[in-house]
Amino acid sequence: MKKTVTTFQKAKEEGRKITMLTAYDYSTAKLVDASGIDSILVGDSLGNVILGYEDTISVTMEDMIHHGAAVARGAKNALVVIDMPFMSYQTSVYDAVVNAGRLMKEGRAGAVKLEGGRSVCPQIKSITEAGIPVVAHLGLTPQSINAFGGFKVQGKSEAAAKKLIEDALAVQEAGAMALVLECVPAKLAALVTEKLTIPTIGIGAGNKCDGQVLVYQDLLGMFTDFVPKFVRQFANVGQVMAEAFAAYDRAVKDGSFPAEEHTYQIEDEVIEKLY
Ligand code: KIV
C-alpha cells in the first residue's frame, strides 16, 4: 500500500518505528521498495556517493529531478522524499515554492526535504500551503558545512541545544510533516522527539527518534571514503562487487567469458556464404 504523510503520522501516534533509506536510481529504488522500507529519500548526498563531490553544495535542481524521477518510477509503495538542493529555497519563498513544485511535477516526489530551522519557516509554510508535504532537517545540515567548519555533532552546548529545540518547534508550527535530526546527541534527540507531535527521523541521533534514515551505500559497505560513527554496515556489498568485477576482468581476459550459453547462433550455411 502506498505510504503517505498519514502513514508517518499514524506510526508516531502508535509508536511504530519509521524506516527511511536513500536511493538514487530505479533499480535500487525497486529493491528498497520491495523490502518494506516506509520511505525513500533521494538525498542530495547523491553529490557525494553518486557524483563524487566533496560536499552537497554543487548539487543542482536538474540532478535532483533526474535521480528523483528514476526513483519514483521504481517506488510503488514507499513515500519518495526528494531533497531541495543548496540555493533552491534559501534565496526566497518564491524560489522555494517554484522549485518544490518542480520536484513534485518533474521528479514525482511525494514530499520534499529542506535544511534549516526558523530562518526557512516562511518557505516551509508556503510550500506546505501549496499542497506539498515538507520534511525539515536540523542538526548537522550538510548544506551549511562551510558555516559549521566541518562535519561535527550539533547541539552539544546548552545554547545550541535550546536553539535546536526552538527550531524543531518552529518547523513543526510552520507545517513540516516530519523532521530529520542528523548528528545530534541521543538524549537531545529523545527530548525533541518527546516535544514534537510530528515524527523525528534520526541519523546519528540515537534510537529514541520515531524513525531512522541511512545512506544505502553506507549500510551496504559500498562507500568507504568516509564512514561516520553512526553507520552500521549491514553487509559488505562493496567487497562482493569488487570481487565480481575482478572475476569478470579475469574471465574476459582468459577467454572463459562469454561461454557457449551466453552466445547467439547462426546457421553454418548462412555464415559460410559470407566468407
Ligand atoms: O542527503 C541525504 O542523504 C540526507 C540524509 C543524510 C538525511 O539528507
Give per-residue pLDDT as tens, 44-72: 999 999 999 999 999 999 999 999 999 99
pLDDT of residue 168: 98
pLDDT of residue 225: 83
Ligand 1 pocket, mutate which of 21, 42, 135, 213 (most atoms under 8 A from CB)? 213
Q: Quick count: other Cβ atoms within 10 Å of Cβ 67?
A: 25
pLDDT of residue 224: 83
Angstrom distances, CA of residue 204 to CA of 25, 50, 85, 154, 165 = 24, 21, 21, 10, 17
Q: Where are the domains of the chain?
A: 5-236, 241-272
pLDDT of residue 94: 98
How many angstroms is it from 247 CA to the middle of ligand 1?
33
Question: What is the homologous superfamily of the domain 5-236 according to CATH?
Answer: Phosphoenolpyruvate-binding domains (3.20.20.60)
> Residue 226's pLDDT band (boundaries 50, 70, 90)?
confident
0.75 surpassed by pTM: yes
- Yes or no: say if 11 and 82 are a contact pair by the CB < 8 Å rule: no
Residue where the block lists cell 547523491: 46
CB of 43 shorter than 6 A to ligand 1: yes
CB of 115 shorter than 6 A to ligand 1: no
How many angstroms is it from 258 CA to the middle of ligand 1?
40
* pLDDT surpassing 90 at residue 2: yes
Which segments within 173-249 are labelled E, that is strand? 178-182, 200-203, 211-214
C-alpha cell read off for 86: 543548496
* pLDDT surpassing 90 at residue 19: yes
* Mean pLDDT, the chain, whole residue set: 97
| H or E element at residue 32 | helix 26-34
DSSP, collapsed to helix, strand or coil, labels residue 212 as strand
Please write the tens of the pLDDT for every residue from 149-162: 888 899 999 999 99
- Yes or no: say if 193 and 151 are a contact pair by the CB < 8 Å rule: no
